[in-house]
Amino acid sequence: MTNCLKLVQLSHRVLSKMGRGGSLPGEIGLKLDPNFIEKFKMPAIVVLVTGTNGKTTTSNLIAESLRAAGLKVINNRRGDNLNVGIATLLATNSDAQYHVQAQAAVIEVDELTLYRQFRNLHPTHLVITNFFRDQLDRAGEMETIIRKIQDVTADFKGDIILNGDDPNTLRIADTAKLAKIHTFSVCRNAVSKDKTDEASEGKFCPRCGSPLEYEFYQYSHIGRFHCKKDGFGDVTPDVQVSKINYDTESFTVDGTEYHNFINTIYAIYNCASVLTVMKTLSLDPKAADKVFRTFVMKEGRNEVFALSKPCVINLIKNPTGANEVMKYINAQPGEKNICIFLNDNDQDGHDVSWIWDAHFERLNTPEVKHIICSGLRAYDMALRLKYEGLEDRITVIENSSEAVHWLNEQNLESYVIATYTALHPTRAILRKEASR
């Protein structure tokens, strides 16, 4: 079936000439040959990155760090994490005999489909960022996702890098008995809290069912937990962040100071996972620090557009991510306007009830002057804010171009938050508006 690969590679070249990227080549490959992905001879290092939040950022950080350490790396940097995206990545980076031309592949994989492609991709490393409550109509209950990943890693002999402060990911350590388990953890710091009011899953010990006890929470259910009965959660982390200085945007591991590309707790967890990967590969962590210092999040992750005043766009897709974005917005000084795009297409999840699990009351601060609600479910968003006492500051503008234009006219710093299918169209509108 080498012809199939040739056809896919040809389609990629034609599409590229037409200025079109995307996953169409992979789609063609999988249509012609359902076993397309397993045909590839993978590089010596294959790092799969999965989890609920932070997959795209983490996998890009890992890929860049491996490059900075001198390796030839391929990765699906735009977050095309489904079969077609992965097939495209492999096909466009291999020779005619399905040999992937790289020393390492860093592949972001959707947590819902990981179990289908896991063995085909011949991973050497599996990184799990976290498991949060996500779009439930699409994802099913988180429990189902974890069990499928447990099934597929039961006989895995490679390295598994787990968030040691997330009981939902740490569960994998109990069932992946043949794998080498590595964990990362972050110490108590300025944002840590004794109690949480954020929607969370995994309040109980997966071994014995007793409630987990928390020394502190970082965000959602991420924090230092343990089970009094059986010691679940008592980890000796491979990478322990021992200090965070939010003023200098830096953190410390093993006495070495690292600089962070964005001043948020979840980004420090992303960095800690990267350092753990570097450690298991015996690569110089300084290479990662170089990346941390200069890494620019793109594609709607804290991306800035030059409207009349700066406008920052962020993706939201579940309560935990939304909560963290709102904390970030609140931490930025000065008056601001906010625009929320809520869609309910397939990739957003048809069920928008998750907005009631997120803490939108956090936007009820004196600095927030006005909130525009837009997108297919603009009125659901407006209602959510109305019941947090923001009634006098909300306006529904269903048309996205008009919503962005309104922001531009206000001459005030603004923050746009958008669900998945609204993200790229909104970025395009922002780009256009910024060049007016």
Partner 1 sequence: MNLKILWMYHDLMDLYGDKGNAEVLRVRAQKRGIETVVDTCTIGQAVNINEYDLFFLGGGADKEQNLIFEDLIRRRDGIKEAMDNHTAFLLICGGYQLFGRYYKDQDGNVVEGLGFFDYYTEATSRSSRCIGNIAVETTMDGETFKAVGFENHGGQTRNVATPFANVLKGYGNTLEDGMEGFMNDQVLATYMHGPLLPKNPKIADKILQRALAKRYGRVELEPLDDTLENKAQEVMLKRLH
Question: Of residues 136, 139, 412, 434, which one binds partner 1 by CB under 8 A?
Answer: 136
Q: Kindly write down the DSSP assignment for every residue of 391-406, as one continuous string.
A: GGGEEE--SHHHHHHH
Give yes or no for residue 351 binding partner 1 (CB under 8 A).
Answer: yes
Token pair, residue 240, equals 């322990």
Size of the site for partner 1 (CB under 8 A): 27
For residue 144, the minimal CB distance to partner 1 (Å) is 9
Question: With CB under 8 A as the contact rule, which of the stretches 1-9, 109-117, 221-229, 380-388 interacts with partner 1?
Answer: 380-388
Give the burial class of 216: count Cβ atoms within 10 A of its Cβ; 0-12 exposed, 13-18 middle, 19 or more buried: middle
**With binding defined as CB under 8 A, does residue 204 bind partner 1?**
yes
Quick check: 139 binds partner 1 (CB under 8 A)?
Answer: no
In the chain, count of helices (H) and strands (E)?
Answer: 14, 17
Q: Does residue 246 touch partner 1 according to CB under 8 A?
A: no
> By C-alpha distance, which of 100, 99, 76 is closest to 21?
76
Phi, psi (degrees; rounded to nearest 5) at 165: -100, 10
Among 259, 309, 386, 393, interactor with partner 1 by CB under 8 A: 386
Residue count (the chain):
436
Establish if 359 lies at the interface with partner 1 (CB under 8 A). Answer: no
Handedness of CA 321, 326, 327, 333 (dihedral sign): positive
Name which position in 357, 393, 410, 425 contacts partner 1 (CB under 8 A): 357
Among residues 273, 219, 251, 201, which one has the least CA distance to residue 57? 273
Interface stretch with partner 1, choices 24-32, 49-57, 195-203, 425-433 (CB under 8 A): 195-203
Q: Is 203 in the site for partner 1 (CB under 8 A)?
A: yes
| Residue 9: count of CB within 10 angstroms of its CB | 18
Q: How far apart are CA 103 and CA 140, in angstroms?
A: 36
Give the nearest distance from C-beta 224 to partner 1 in angstroms. Answer: 20
* Cβ proximity to partner 1, 284 vs 380, nearer residue: 380
Least distance in Å: CB of 394 to partner 1? 8
Among 103, 113, 181, 379, binds partner 1 (CB under 8 A): 379
Beta strands 256-259 and 250-253, pairing class: antiparallel
Rounded-to-10 torsion of CA 248, 316, 324, 53: -80
Query: Considering the rule CB under 8 A, would residue 174 count as an interface residue with partner 1?
Result: no
Q: How far is CA 359 from the centre of its chain?
A: 19
Of the candidates 104, 149, 186, 199, which one interacts with partner 1 according to CB under 8 A? 199
Q: Single out the residue of 16, 41, 99, 387 in contact with partner 1 (rule: CB under 8 A).
A: 387
- Residue 393 interacts with partner 1 (CB under 8 A)? no
Instruction: List residues binding partner 1 (CB under 8 A).
Output: 136-137, 141-143, 199, 201, 203-204, 209, 350-357, 377, 379-380, 382-384, 386-387, 396
